[in-house]
């Protein structure tokens, strides 16, 4: 009976240690994933800026139109 | 009002002929004509140097040159050039760089608008090829904290000559970082510092320049920079040891070296709520207090928890056990009001400094309290905050920035190792506000300003407080080396109501319309597309 209890305790401890090990692995994986998500977000924002420029270009009709708009803004700032 | 006379100080040594010619031409093409160019040839061996300088002197009476008897290094040559100067202001120009044609004219305008200015600096970019300008550095307005961790003002720097003389000119002890040392000394005494958000200086990237090779070219210069900042800290009584950043050349970190530890009161409003943190259900405040007790190296602190009525008894018992003799609990039985809860905790606090802490924060930096006290003990500093990371290590807070009068968290959700625009995540700064999730302020200032405004019961009470501090003439400090984990808004909704936005704008728009921690040429912390075309706006006067 005492042996069985000791065995059970040992088994519980092993399982708890395994849970801690697996949790640590998950936390480490979360950190890796977080880093990747963070980089992705940065690229998405950059892409968003590019997309806005393309949209402006399309709305403006042509590169020439956008360049004219840019030039007017530059001159206005003088 | 006539422009003051500018003395452009330029030590010259073995400058390639085409580069030297461009530097000279950029000075002679200044729209403002009230300048003199003080050139000192540090005994260059190449014959063209002395010949070109002598020719420039012959062609324009505003150009004056001296040739040293022997090579003495940049500090000796710069001091010789300073001795030649007769202008009211000194403009520093390196022998291989160029000034924007409007540089002195715009500085003169800025000085006319701010007659008390003793130091003016501008934005800058790099010349990487013929007519090719890249890497514009759009700087923030004057930030003493940033200058200690990064020589960000750099070029163009224009200083009142009397002040330069007062601080003894360039100090040979800091050869290689003599500009940084001079600016530190000058700004310690300057009545006002003005930032001109225009690219007025073009830094030429050539194979041997620091601009091209970062920390590899002159490691001794970075070491001199460390010593210059250390000497500055000692002069102003900032209790810190200065260390170089091993990864990012030119960046520095301050380590607190407190002579005494005043009592700090950590105020934590809480409802003892639970959530899963790292795959374990946690009572947030217990996790927070545990981390404070286990990880903090500061000795002299107390914890004041402002506890909502109806908090689970088990969690409260655990909290009492974790907090031990340092903990006091103040009961709060009103409807949720974050500002009122903090004010109630502050009223019970006995410390010289208040440290407002959210219960969903966890300590990551052992000397976090020391870091805050280090800055907060400066009389001009009213608030200190740090860098907060989300549970998975991404950035949650690196100072608050305003766009259109509303606050936001720059780089929110970016990877934890992201350095930011011009490394601004990694350097100390003076934002208009920091998050109240972890914020230190002197107790007497908190009382004087009426604490957190209860007209903002949910959101913006922290931002509003920081703006009150700013309006009272004190600085808000962001410390990048104070790192905490923030399990953000796990306790309530983070949605901001329209009326809160309107109220914040109504109260503070004159202060927040242009964020001094940012630059008009930046949008979402990146240079605007048109800002890159700044050089196109040059007007070339005939010479």
- Would the CB atoms of B524 and A45 count as touching at under 8 Å? yes
Residue A59's pLDDT is 72
Predicted confidence (pLDDT) at residue B2 exceeds the cutoff of 80: no
Choose the closest CB to B392 out of A34, A49, A78.
A34
Residue of A nearest to B396 (CA): A38
Q: How far is B417 from chain A (nearest CA, A)?
A: 8
Residue B530's pLDDT is 67
Chain A residues whose CB is inside 8 A of the B522 CB are none
- Would the CB atoms of B394 and A30 count as touching at under 8 Å? no
- Report, at the CATH architecture level, how domain B264-525 is classified: Alpha-Beta Complex (3.90)
Q: Measured on CA atoms in the order B313, B314, B319, B321, is the torsion positive or negative?
A: positive
Gyration radius of chain A over CA positions: 30
The Cα–Cα gap between B84 and B7 comes to: 9
pLDDT digits (tens, 9 = 90+) for B159-208: 999 999 999 999 999 999 999 999 999 999 999 999 999 999 999 987 66
Three-state SS string over B38-94 comes to EEEECCCCCHHHHHHHHHHHHHCCCEEEEECCCCCHHHHHHHHHHHHCCCCEEEECC
Task: Give the residue numbers spanning the domain of A11.
Answer: 2-76
Q: What is the mean pLDDT of residues B391-411?
A: 95
Predicted confidence (pLDDT) at residue B490 exceeds the cutoff of 70: no
The Cα–Cα gap between A52 and A58 comes to: 10
Chain A residues whose CB is inside 8 A of the B280 CB are 23
Instruction: Tell me if B7 sits within 8 A of B35, measured CB to CB.
Output: yes
Residue A58's pLDDT is 73
Predicted confidence (pLDDT) at residue B212 exceeds the cutoff of 60: no
Q: What is the mean pLDDT of residues B237-257?
A: 95
DSSP category for residue B429: B
Right CATH number for B6-222 from 3.40.50.720, 1.20.1630.10, 3.30.70.120, 3.90.550.10?
Answer: 3.90.550.10
- Count of the separate structural domains present in chain A: 1
The Cα–Cα gap between B71 and B69 comes to: 7
Pairing mode of beta strands B192-204, B98-99: antiparallel
Predicted confidence (pLDDT) at residue B109 exceeds the cutoff of 50: yes
Q: What is the mean pLDDT of residues B32-43?
A: 96
Q: Which residue's structure tokens are 């909704």?
A: B493
Residues of chain B above pLDDT 90, percent: 87
pLDDT digits (tens, 9 = 90+) for B455-464: 999 999 999 9
Inter-CA distances, B303 with B216, B346, B465, Å: 47, 11, 21
Does residue B540 sit at the A interface (CB-CB below 8 Å)? no
Predicted confidence (pLDDT) at residue B215 exceeds the cutoff of 80: no
Residue A66's pLDDT is 67
Domain regions of chain B by residue span: 6-222, 264-525
Residue count (chain B): 543
- Would the CB atoms of A37 and B536 count as touching at under 8 Å? no
Average pLDDT for chain B = 93
Residue of A nearest to B411 (CA): A42
pLDDT digits (tens, 9 = 90+) for A3-58: 899 999 999 999 999 999 999 999 999 999 999 999 999 999 888 878 877 787 77
Instruction: Tell me if B4 sits within 8 A of B29, measured CB to CB.
Output: no
Predicted confidence (pLDDT) at residue A62 exceeds the cutoff of 70: no
- Would the CB atoms of A74 and B530 count as touching at under 8 Å? yes
DSSP category for residue B475: E
- Would the CB atoms of B392 and A37 count as touching at under 8 Å? yes
Predicted confidence (pLDDT) at residue B209 exceeds the cutoff of 80: no
pLDDT digits (tens, 9 = 90+) for B418-434: 999 999 999 999 999 99
Residue A78's pLDDT is 43
Tell me the residue ranges of DSSP E strands in B85-182.
89-92, 98-99, 117-129, 132-137, 157-160
- Would the CB atoms of B537 and A77 count as touching at under 8 Å? yes
- Which of A43-57, B115-129, B166-180, B481-495 shows the lowest mean pLDDT across its residues? B481-495
Q: What is the mean pLDDT of residues B14-33?
A: 95
Q: At B75, is the pLDDT very low, low, confident or very high (cuts 50, 70, 90)?
A: very high
Which residues in B210-243 are b (16+ Cβ under 10 Å) and which e?
A: bbeeebebbeebbebbbebbbbbbeeeebbbebe
Between residues B218 and B389, the one the model is more confident about: B389
Chain B residues whose CB is inside 8 A of the A31 CB are 392-393
Residue B493's pLDDT is 53
Instruction: Count other Cβ atoms within 10 Å, centred on residue B141.
Output: 17
Residues of chain B above pLDDT 70, percent: 94
Chain A residues whose CB is inside 8 A of the B526 CB are 46, 49
Predicted confidence (pLDDT) at residue B542 exceeds the cutoff of 50: no
- Report phi then psi at B101, rounded to 5: -55, -30
Matching fold, domains B6-222 and B264-525: yes
Residue B219's pLDDT is 79
């Amino acid at each position: 009976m005492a042996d069985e209890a000791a065995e059970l305790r040992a088994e519980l401890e092993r399982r708890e240690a395994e849970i801690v090990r697996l949790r640590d692995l998950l936390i480490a994986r979360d950190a890796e994933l977080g880093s990747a998500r963070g980089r992705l977000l940065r690229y998405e924002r950059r892409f968003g800026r590019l997309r806005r420029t393309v949209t402006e270009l399309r709305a403006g009709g042509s590169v020439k139109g956008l360049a004219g708009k840019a030039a007017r803004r530059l001159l206005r700032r003088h | 009002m006539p422009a003051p006379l500018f003395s452009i100080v330029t030590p010259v040594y073995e400058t390639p002929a085409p580069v030297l010619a461009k530097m000279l031409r950029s000075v002679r093409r200044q729209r403002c004509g009230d300048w003199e160019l003080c050139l000192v040839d540090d005994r260059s061996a190449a014959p063209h140097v002395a010949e070109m300088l002598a020719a420039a002197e012959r062609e324009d009476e505003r150009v004056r040159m001296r040739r040293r008897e022997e090579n003495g290094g940049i500090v000796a040559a710069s001091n010789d050039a300073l001795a030649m100067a007769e202008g009211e202001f000194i403009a520093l120009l390196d022998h291989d760089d160029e000034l924007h044609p409007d540089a002195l004219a715009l500085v003169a305008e800025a000085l006319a608008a701010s007659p008390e200015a003793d130091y003016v600096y501008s934005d800058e970019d790099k010349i990487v090829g013929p007519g090719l300008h890249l890497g514009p550095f759009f700087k923030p307005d004057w930030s003493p904290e940033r200058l200690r961790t990064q020589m960000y003002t750099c070029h163009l720097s224009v200083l009142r000559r009397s002040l330069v003389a007062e601080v003894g000119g360039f100090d040979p002890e800091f050869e290689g970082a003599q500009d940084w040392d001079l600016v530190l000394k000058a700004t310690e005494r300057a009545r006002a510092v003005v930032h001109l958000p225009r690219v007025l200086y073009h830094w030429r990237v050539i194979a041997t320049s620091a601009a091209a090779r970062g920390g590899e070219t002159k490691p001794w210069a970075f070491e001199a920079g460390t010593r210059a900042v250390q000497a500055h800290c000692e002069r102003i009584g900032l209790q810190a040891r200065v260390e170089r950043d091993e990864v990012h050349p030119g960046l520095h970190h301050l380590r607190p070296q407190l002579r005494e530890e005043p009592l700090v009161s950590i105020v934590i409003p809480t409802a003892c709520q639970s959530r899963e943190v790292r795959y374990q259900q946690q009572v947030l405040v217990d996790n927070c207090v545990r981390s404070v007790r286990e990880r903090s190296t500061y000795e002299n602190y107390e914890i004041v928890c402002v506890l909502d009525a109806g908090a689970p008894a088990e969690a409260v018992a655990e909290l009492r056990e974790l907090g031990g003799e340092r903990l006091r609990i103040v009961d709060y039985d009103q409807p949720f009001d974050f500002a009122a809860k903090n004010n109630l905790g502050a009223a019970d606090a006995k410390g010289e400094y208040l440290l407002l802490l959210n219960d969903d924060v966890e300590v990551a930096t052992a000397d976090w309290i020391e870091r805050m006290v280090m800055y907060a003990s400066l009389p001009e500093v009213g608030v200190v905050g740090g860098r907060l990371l989300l549970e998975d290590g991404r950035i949650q807070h690196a100072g608050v920035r305003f766009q259109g009068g509303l606050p936001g968290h720059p780089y929110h959700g970016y990877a934890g190792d992201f350095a930011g625009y011009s490394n601004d995540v990694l350097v100390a700064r003076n934002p208009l506000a920091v998050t109240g999730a972890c914020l230190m302020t002197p107790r007497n200032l908190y009382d004087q300003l009426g604490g957190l405004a209860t007209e903002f019961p949910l959101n913006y009470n922290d931002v509003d407080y920081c703006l009150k501090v700013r309006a009272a003439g004190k600085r808000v400090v962001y410390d990048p080396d104070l790192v905490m984990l923030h399990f953000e808004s796990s306790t309530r909704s983070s949605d901001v109501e329209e009326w809160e936005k309107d109220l914040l704008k109504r109260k503070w728009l004159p202060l927040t319309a242009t964020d001094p921690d940012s630059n008009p040429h930046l949008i979402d912390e990146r240079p605007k597309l048109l800002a890159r075309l700044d050089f196109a706006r040059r007007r070339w006067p005939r010479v």
